[in-house]
């Protein structure tokens, strides 16, 4: 890059490749932080059956089939509303259970 004989197009190409590598490293770091492996199951939330824009709400069924007993899940004090095309990631059962155990000790 600092070599005076390097052309401007070559510098731009090198910077573009570096940017792609930086993005790939950030993705890998995120997967490591959340323990997302290649075995993770990824589900894309489908568009709603009707033509209007809808949100999906994440509910905790509290062990009951009675909808009146269900509660809406909150994270950081806000209800979780999911839009179509949102990705849900389910980690490996082994990874999930080890994470749940470590969280329960805190």
Q: Please answer whether residues 43 and 91 qualify as being in contact, where contact means their C-beta atoms are separated by less than 8 angstroms.
A: no
Tokens standing for 42? 């990824």
- Single pTM value for the model: 0.60
Q: Which residues contact 12 (CB under 8 A, 6 or more apart)?
A: none
Task: Write out the chain's pLDDT in tens, 106 residues.
Answer: 678 888 989 889 999 999 999 999 999 999 999 999 989 999 999 888 776 777 888 999 999 999 999 999 999 999 988 888 899 999 875 554 444 444 444 3
- Report the sign of the C-alpha dihedral through residues 89, 92, 95, 98, in that order: positive
């Amino acid at each position: 890059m600092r070599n005076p004989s390097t052309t401007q197009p070559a510098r731009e190409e090198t910077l573009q490749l570096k940017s792609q590598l930086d993005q790939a490293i950030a993705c890998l770091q995120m997967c490591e932080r959340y323990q997302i492996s290649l075995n993770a199951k990824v589900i894309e939330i489908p568009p709603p059956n009707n033509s209007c824009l809808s949100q999906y709400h994440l509910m905790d069924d509290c062990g009951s089939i009675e909808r009146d007993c269900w509660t809406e899940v909150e994270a950081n004090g806000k209800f979780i509303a999911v839009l179509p095309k949102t990705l849900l990631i389910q980690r490996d059962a082994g990874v999930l259970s080890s994470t749940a155990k470590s969280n329960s000790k805190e």
